[in-house]
Amino acid sequence: MRAKALRKAGGGGSDGGTVVLMLDIKLIRNDPEAVKAAVARRGEDTSSIDEIVELDARVRAHMTAVDQIREESNRVSKEIGELYRNGETEKAEALKAGTEGQKENERQHADALAHLQATIRELLLNVSNMPSPEAPDGLTEDDNVVVRVEGYDPDAIADHQRVPHWEIGEQLGILDVDRAVRMSGSMFAMYRGHGAHLLRALISYGLDRNRDAFEEIRPPTVVKTDTMIGTGHLPKFADDAYHLERDDLWAIPTAEVPLTSMVAGEILDQADLPMRLMAHTTCYRREAGSAGRDTRGLLRVHEFDKVELYSFCTPEQAQAMHMEILERAENAIRDLGLAHRVLDLACGDISGAGTRTYDIEVFAPGADRWLEVSSVSWCTDYQARRANIRYRPEGEKGTRFVHSLNGSGLAVPRVWAGIVETYRQPDGSIRMPDVLLPYLGGLTEIPAPV
């Protein structure tokens, strides 16, 4: 990244600085009913919005009182100074003694103000982003809208493809779930031999196909609490994250987390927007609410590799960037020759930070189900407000918040599963997709078991 692209801004950041409010408090103040209506489309309780409005009114009342006290104090200070200069010491001392009560009054207002602002911040941290008016209505995944389906023909699926990847993996010695569970517990997996090679090939493939426009980053995979707050993963989704309590660090659930905070508290040059970033990381998710559901093989695992695509941009660039990330993610699946579909997520199924999300799902013929392999989300300025990331528009004196977007360029485990099931041959071998051959060192198929 060019040095001129970034300039440090005062206040904010993920190093203990002030976290800016998430939803625009002015919007909530001026049109609370519109905000409540938008949040209600997610199926979420909106009572906190009413509480925020009430507390905000009290904040402004205390601020007005403090301003009036300070204005009066300045006036009296000038009068006291004038009395001293005129030799009227007794009057000056008497007037000065009368200001002590004002100082205590100001302190009380300031303390109340700080408490109210902290309460508003905590409430706002748990309010999700407002979904786009174009996002489909509905509260569950059953309400998601199928945009398109490609390559899926249930009548063309052969019997040899109807074997689930966890059975194939055991037969070929390329996936060892039993030993992984013994080492780490349920919902962990271990890739072996050609299976590990295929995983590594998918990561390289996911990075290389986006190298033309996206800067590769290798961020830390454990981060501070403020870093998780910046993307909206905390405090709302703390139960789904791994917390290293001794160091107060969190294992990242996605590279979106460190990529967002990479420029926290900074002002970006408009000339450098859109900024395109990508990262391969290992990701960790406890998924506490998913125990006992979809846990066979690689359907749902606590640890997985993923190539993430990410962008900061102006509001005017965001729509086109959303479509670009979606196109890149879908093309990666399309070029692998996997049957897939694109879903426009209903409001209740969009992540807390997103305003509009498209999911890409691969059909795994052995598991006989659609597997989500990418979520491409537009987060408007929701994350930028939390992490205090701005840009300076050309020709303007002030700054604005950027928009952030993210999407899985390639989520490895479920794509791995889709390939193993889709490309299984009648003899039990697995042919490798043509686009992966440059990354497989001459391996064209995983041989059938002897």
The DSSP code sequence of 386-423 is HHT-EEE-TT-SS-EEPEEEEEEEEEHHHHHHHHHHHT
The Cα 35–Cα 40 span in angstroms is: 8
Residues 355 and 213: their CA atoms lie apart, in Å, by 25
- Exposure b/e, 223-239, CB count within 10 A at least 16 = b: bbbbbbbbbbbbebbee
Look up residue 186 and give its amino acid: S
Structure confidence by residue, pLDDT tens digits, 403-443 = 999 999 999 999 999 999 999 999 999 999 999 999 999 99
Q: Specify the amino acid at residue 419.
A: I
What gap in Å lies between CA 312 and CA 273, rounded to an integer?
7
Average pLDDT, rounded, for the chain: 92
Closest CA to 383 of 313, 304, 285, 307: 313
What does the pLDDT read at residue 6?
29
Given a contact cutoff of 8 angstroms between Cβ atoms, the answer to whether 298 and 252 are in contact is no
Burial group, residue 336, by CB count within 10 angstroms (0-12, 13-18, 19+): buried
Cα 402 from Cα 35, distance rounded (Å) = 20
**Alpha carbon 414 to chain centroid distance?**
20
DSSP at 175: B
pLDDT in tens, 161-187: 999 999 999 999 999 999 999 999 999
Q: What is the pLDDT of residue 289?
A: 57
Amino acid at 70: R
More confident residue, 82 or 207: 207
pLDDT at 291: 56
Q: Is the dihedral of CA 85, 90, 93, 96 positive or negative?
A: negative
Given strand 6-8, what is the order of strands in its sheet? 6-8, 266-269, 390-392, 400-401
User: What tens digit of pLDDT does each residue of 296-305 get?
Assistant: 999 999 999 9
Question: Is the pTM of the predicted complex or chain greater than 0.85?
Answer: yes
What percentage of the chain has pLDDT greater than the value 70? 94
